[in-house]
Structure 1
Amino acid sequence: MVVMTQSRTRLVGVVGALVATTLGLSSCAYAESTDAAPTDIESAPDEENLAGVCPETVGVQLQWQPQSDMGGLFELLGPGYTVDTEQKSITGPLVASGKDTGVDITLKAGGPAIGFQSVTSQMYVDDSVMLGVVHGDQLIAASTDQPVVGVTPLLTRSPAILMWDPQTHPDWDSIADIGESAATVVVSKDQIFPQWLVGKGILQPGQIDTSYDSAPARSVGDPSIAQQGFANSEPYRYEHAVPTWGEPVAFDLVANSGYDIYASNVAVRADRLESHSACLDKLVPIVQRAGAGFADDPHATNEKIVDIVAQDVSYNPYTMEQAEAGTDVLVDLGLLGHEDDGTFGTYDDARTQRNLDELRPILTDGGNRVAPELTGPDLFTNRFTDTTITECPRRPEP
């Protein structure tokens, strides 16, 4: 069980022996923060210059509105960016370690901004989108009708949770405890993990209610239920931004039950993998370094995300406190960090194969066809990743 940010499986700190690598040099030298955005951006070195190799604007479809779980991508957004409130997008220079790569990046909001369509479907109707952010289970589910390939994960594990009122259920410590009760479990109909939990016998089929709509009213009105959420979002929101609740919630990561997917995979359409390969060779390591840099020192990028959200009144309010708290949860729970081998932004082939093997029958039962010849490495590839990129310990507090 987790109450606020405390976890049964909390990782104490970050592995201090790991260091970030920049272009093959193992170094964790911290740059000085500055509030002043330069009018001219220094050019990136040739190995990080994307002009003529990548599209002039690299379009990225996000899963939701800007927030800190996508921080690695917003780390790529250089000064002088513009917010388009009609298109629900942000465009600016694509930077690598703050240096201009010669191309722009456009980050497009998902969720309500695209009529709640899936990221994979949007990638197949919007030709301006080169990359999409797709959770591992959704990537597998789309493998027949809208196939995409994950090229690097932003998060090593899913922040998906089931949460509950600790005052109503003081005896619950885990999702397994929920399954041993008769409590209703409210989830959205597009989530795959509830089917997996039922298939594993952790939850009972009759417990699942697929009417979740992201609003807190259901939980506030009936604190006896368990409800889906994300560790970096709902617990903070319910305690600090839902006046009708205003108390800590308890939660357990779905990953603690063994649902071990990679979350927020940067993915490319399978039919465009080869045509974009020269770009991906250079771009994917830049994304990896950006993710490692954000995990180390997220403050400036979180300020950027909060500024972007504040410029569009259609977005849910997003404060600096919420962004920083969400990032801390991702790092502290081991969701934003290195792989077991110490690398950052790479895939474990055995793990992706296990994910595919476990989800194939569940998805098939639910009406999704997953080709029997597909393998985990077909869907999640290390072809473009740089295994010399590792994680810095977080910047010491001043």
Structure 2
Amino acid sequence: MNKRNTTIFSAIALVSLTILSACGGSDSAATDTTAGATTATGVSLVDVCPATIVVQTDWFPESEHGGLYQLMSDDAVASKDTGAVSGSLVVNGEPAGVKLEIRAGGPFLESPVVTEMYQDNAITFGYVGTDVAITRYNDAPTLAVFNALNINPQVLLWDATKHPEATTIADAAKTIKSFYVYGDPAWMRYFESQGLIEKGQVDSNYKGNLLLSTEDAAHQGFATSEPYKYANLESGAITTGYQLIHDAGWNSYAQNLAIRKDRLEELRPCLENIVPIFQQAQLDYIADPTRANAIILSTVATYDSWWTQSEGDVANGAASQKELGIVGNGETPTFGDLEEARVNDFIAKATPILREQGLEIADIAAGDITDNEFLDTSITYQG
């Protein structure tokens, strides 16, 4: 599946007044005392945030972006020409006084997300994975302030009927000749260095097709997508086996909402208010994705490209994020934080791999590319 930035892969809390969390039937509440002036609904981003909050995503609209679409108004307008959808930013369905614009990535981008962030000052947030933040720190440093997906949903998958004993990538590599990936992902080099797979088994010419229907191989994909698509093939269902690249050791955070590091002080008043909103919206989406999924489907239809999504695709994507633990707390009860120990561990394992690829990688630590100070620590995922 030709998704996102495959070289390596959000939201409503409370501002001033108490808002009930919709996640998991929880009736707990959280309060953010740093909010700006309140509207009739109790939430206002006027005077603290840009008039239009622009989020540059890494791919077409999909369920993994659901927390963002939870904040989009029902009267949102999408443009096929620009690959963007915009409308009022809503909290619990009520306008918060600013606009929200969600820009698609993939073919709509002429350059990587981070590059776009530095070329276009209108972009408030961009999707920047930890690995990308490390790679681009020297020339375009970013600061992740919220993570919607605790676990990267990216996987390597295979036909489980043909390889019933394979439960891990290392198992699959014993009997599968070819592993198809896009280009030269650092995580595959890492797996090679750990002895999970041999270099000669890696084919960098994956085209994004559901090739298990025609070939006995393995390919990269997403646990939230391809298993469902294979199970619903018109030509006959295929049961897939897979392992998350996270579980195989490449524990990068994916799809972090990040800002340009040089805009931290400029955006600080906005971050103090909107980051908790991002936290809660992701939880609200997982609790009930119906409204946001409808906006996703409508937007995809307007873009009218080769990328399609069905009601089943987005419903499965949201459900899978919950069932597989893609969305959840990490080692702390705070939802959406980027854990220092995990980030530092990842930096230590990724740096030599990235340098091996000929990249100039700075000597950095978690605090250089992540900032948890704007999170509401009382917002937690309760399943």
Question: What TM-score, normalized by structure 2, do the two folds share?
Answer: 0.87
Aligned length: 357
Paired position in structure 2 for 1:234: 226
Aligned to 1:83, the other structure's residue is in SS state strand
Mapping 1:296-375, distance limit 5 Å: 296-314=287-305, 316-372=307-363, 374-375=364-365
The aligned counterpart of 1:377 is 367
2-structure distance, mates of 1:132, 1:59:
8
Once residues 21 and 310 of structure 1 are traced to their aligned partners in structure 2, the CA distance between those partners, rounded to angstroms, is 30
Q: CA deviation at 1:367?
A: 1.6
| Cα deviation code 1:139-182 (max 9, x no counterpart) | 22222222211110010010010011123222211111123346
Runs (4+) off by over 3 Å: 20-31, 179-182, 218-221, 242-246
The whole-number CA distance in structure 2 between the counterparts of 1:202 and 1:43 is 57
SS at match of 2:100: strand
Cα shift readout 1:267-325 (whole Å, capped 9, x = no counterpart): 11122222211211111111111111112222221122112212221152211111111
| Residue among 372, 379, 383 paired with 1:389 | 379
Q: Residue 84 of structure 1 aligns with which residue?
A: 79
Give the unaligned 5+ runs of structure 1.
1-19, 32-41, 394-398
**Deviation, structure 1 residue 238:** 2.5
Partner of 2:6: none
The 5 A counterparts of 1:1-398 are 22=14, 27-28=20-21, 43-45=40-42, 48-115=43-110, 117-181=111-175, 183-189=177-183, 191-216=185-210, 218-223=211-216, 225-240=217-232, 242-244=233-235, 246-314=237-305, 316-372=307-363, 374-393=364-383
Distance of 1:102 and 1:22 partners within structure 2: 15
Q: Distance in 2 between matches of 1:207 and 1:171?
A: 19
Shift in alpha-carbon separation, 1:298–1:213, aligned structure 2, 3 A: same
Q: Tell me the equivalent position of 1:38.
A: none
| Distance in 1 separating the partners of 2:358 and 2:268 | 32
Change (3 A) 1:190 1:280: farther
Change in CA separation of 1:219 and 1:247 when aligned onto 2, cut-off 3 Å = closer
Q: Confirm or deny: 8 A CA contact 1:43 1:99 kept in the other structure.
A: no
Determine if contact 1:349/1:377 at 8 Å carries over to the other structure.
yes
- Indicate if the aligned counterparts of 1:134 and 1:263 stay in contact, CA closer than 8 A: yes
Deviations for 1:34-71, whole angstroms, at most 9, x for unmatched residues? xxxxxxxx7442xx421122111111111111000111
1:261 match: secondary structure: coil
Residue 243 of structure 1: how far off its partner (Å): 3.5
Distance 1:129 1:190, change over 3 A: farther
* Residues 190/139 of structure 1: CA separation in 2 closer, same or farther (3 Å cut): farther
In the alignment, is the contact (CA less than 8 A) between 2:224 and 2:320 conserved in 1? yes
Asked if 2 retains the 8 angstrom alpha-carbon contact of 1:157 and 1:255, the reply is yes
Name the residue aligned to 1:35. Answer: none
Q: CA–CA distance in 2 between the matches of 1:138 and 1:289?
A: 25
Offset of residue 75 of structure 1: 0.8
| SS at structure 1 position matched to 2:266 | coil
| Partner Cα separation in structure 1 for residue 275 and residue 94 of structure 2 | 16
* Superposed CA offset, 1:329-366 (max 9, x none): 11111111222322211121111111111111111111
The secondary structure found in structure 1 opposite 2:258 is strand
CA–CA separation in structure 1 for the residues paired with 2:236 and 2:133: 35
Do the aligned partners of 2:114 and 2:140 also contact (CA within 8 Å) in 1?
A: yes
Percent identity of equivalent pairs = 31
Query: Aligned partners of 1:381 and 1:180: how far apart in 2?
Result: 41
Letter in 2 for 1:388: S
Structure 2 Cα separation of the partners of residues 283 and 315 of structure 1: 33
Deviation of the 1:72 alpha carbon? 0.8
Taking structure 1 as the reference length, what is the TM-score of the superposition?
0.84
Does the 8 Å CA contact 1:187/1:208 hold for their aligned counterparts? yes
Q: Deviations over 1:92-125 (max 9, x none)?
A: 011222222111011000011214x321122222
Q: Unpaired segments of 5 or more residues in structure 2? A: 1-11, 27-38
- Which amino acid in structure 2 is aligned with residue 284 of structure 1? V
Offset, 1:25: 5.1
Q: Taking structure 1 as reference, are residues 122 and 238 closer, same or farther at Cα in structure 2, changes over 3 Å only?
A: farther
Q: Do the aligned partners of 1:309 and 1:315 also contact (CA within 8 Å) in 2?
A: no
Three-state SS of the structure 2 residue aligned to 1:274 is: helix
Q: Tell me the secondary structure at the aligned position of residue 144 of structure 1.
A: coil
